[in-house]
Structure 1
Amino acid sequence: MTRTLRLPTPDGRLAPHTLRGTGPDRPATAKVGTPPRTRTAYAAAHVVADPLADNAPGAPARLDWEATLAFRHRLWDLGLGVADAMDTAQRGMGLDWPATAELIRRSAAEAATRGAAIACGAGTDHLDPHCPDLESVLAGYREQLEVVEYAGATPVLMASRQLAGLARGPEDYAAVYGRLLTEAGRPVILHWLGAAFDPALAGYWGHDDPADAIPFVADLIRAHADRVDGIKVSLLDAALEVRLRNLLPPGVKLYTGDDFNYPELIRGDADGHSHALLGVFAAIAPAAAAALHALDDGDTARYDALLAPTVPLARHLFAAPTYYYKTGIAFLAWLNGHQRAFSMVGGLQSARGLPHLAEAFRLADAAGVLTDPDLAALRMRRLLAVAGVDE
């Protein structure tokens, strides 16, 4: 089968692209199922929609459970932890709470069978958007937190749209998070999702400028340091992340969620480094796992060589409107044979146009993350045929 395809360009033309082949060789130290030693790393996993179900906008989510769980096992096989029921799994964008709760239970049970790392999101997305008061927000958090803790996963206290809409200032955030952290049965991961990922979260922590919120967040964590495993920061601003990281108390991790600047933040410097909780790691999992093992070995040149080619792909997948990055994650999973169809709950596969997907295909090839180039070419041809592109 020829590996040359005619792909759409941003200016509406078709241009030939020949796949380069498989990705770079993986280091021998990247043993199957062995987590990295020097960094804690979670890949935020997407969910696989049942392509034969009515996963239309507004319809209840119907998942292909076999493919959804198999994808998580693939991440564990590479030594990565799984962050589940997060925004990558379409929380607040098609994945309803009943399906989310089932996802948490099933994924945590699978993780337990192999002693693998799993963290799951607990939020308030099942509440009415116009939640009446902070006590209702607390009750919503508690309901989801109970599901995560009972399943045995590390809870991630996800940012709340309802709290953002109700809070009058930092004191309301301190009251809600203070009570949740006091009540939690185990240390949690906090979650700071910037407005690029969810515009409804603008002004989170009671400050319009995220830079002004950093001292407050650091103080909140210091006040509850024994209840906080870490904080995931997705601001797409490396300088702000490093500033917060330097203020954290000993033992509390900064998990980068910066899908633009992750190589430098994870590598770190003499003053410290970030750990990882990244949606892009699901798309580049083999390269990410190998790079982290290279970092364990002190081979920063190999680390850089593995991750540098993935950055243009990540920046493309997470381009504005950033919250539609999930479409690209599912698209690459389909190209790599991890799901039967390019379909998503809520019909979100339509959120990115064909030129965007074609560029993702080119960049994934350049990054070496198309694990079966022949299959990827076959599936891309089928997508192009549906769009009316003739060979």
Structure 2
Amino acid sequence: MKRLLWIACFTYLLIGLTHIIIGSLLTEILDYYNRNYTDGGVLIACQSVGFLTGVICSSYISKFLGRRRAVVFAILSIGLAQIAFVSLIPWTWWLVIAVFCGLGFGIIEPLVGSLIIDAIKDKPAVAFSRLEVFFGIGSLIMPIISGWLASTDLWRYSFLVLGLYALIICVIWMKVSFGSLDKLMAKSMEQEEQKQKQAESTPFLGGRYTLFTGFILFFLIYVGTEVSIMNFLPSILISKLGTETFAATLAVTIFWGAMVTGRLAAGYLAEKMNYARYLGVCCFGMVIFVASLGFITSLWLGYVLIVLIGLMMAGIFGIALVYANQMLPGSTERNTSILIAAGGVGGIVLPLVTGGIMDHFPTMVVSLVLAGLSLFMFLFIVFLKGQQPEQASEQVEA
């Protein structure tokens, strides 16, 4: 079990690195190909399209290949994509390969996440939070690696480093035995067909469409808000306080540092407090601190609020995913894929809305709109506590 968890953690480190690498090197890539930022936006959008496609198709690919082979296929696609990037292929091929790369980590995130939720019954929130920590570490260290290589004019070799790491992880997934869990990761088509027949005899979600819709909106808003804060923090500080560029961009590093730190404790706190109470506290804190961001009067106060926002948001995604799979009947893979896909949609749509608000309204309006959306998350968790009090009490006892 520990072996599976550690390999899953290093796999999440891979997708954390992959998620951020193009953005970290975007300026160098565009300069090399003599392209503008609109072209850069298209490149990132292509990767996002691949990610969403991978998330949506992950359960079907898993059903066809088995979990282990599906993960190996996805990691291999990431590794080969990085090898293609390091060879500085023609620009049009970058767009195609970016879709292929996004498809890879779009498959990995729900498959490995649902595997951990299924396999680890004792304190699954702690295990999933550890995955989130490694994802955050990947997002933190890739800009450092790529920045150092870019400063020595060797930026293209960032892709080589990531490609080699992906191939190493791929070999580990192919060769390592997980004991009794090997059967869980190598389901045959026959087993899946039997499981599907059983599922068809049970109403989808057991009639809990309202809860499922609520969770979809929850993940859409959370991921959209996280991506908006991450991308617009520097602009908010510059617009509100006239901050210098370096000090403003430092806010993103502070935000991710707080996120990683918070995730170290998130699983333990959630298990101790129970999931609903933990999510309620974090969502309420998120509302207060995000709203306050629009009223800051100094850079240091802004940094303090950014740390608090990062700590509040740190465990929400992982704990909510575990909580949703407890509350909703049916396939863990299917539920996880749909909820992560909803988050992916939010990560595309809400930043567009945020950017439009930034163009036409004061910074304060941006923070209040994001806080207002976060308020839905808090109210939904309060609603869930009222719906399932017995589940909450059972989890506390566990």
Higher helix share: 2
Same-fold status (TM-score > 0.5): no
Higher strand share: 1
The two structures have a TM-score, normalised by structure 1, of 0.27
The two structures have a TM-score, normalised by structure 2, of 0.26
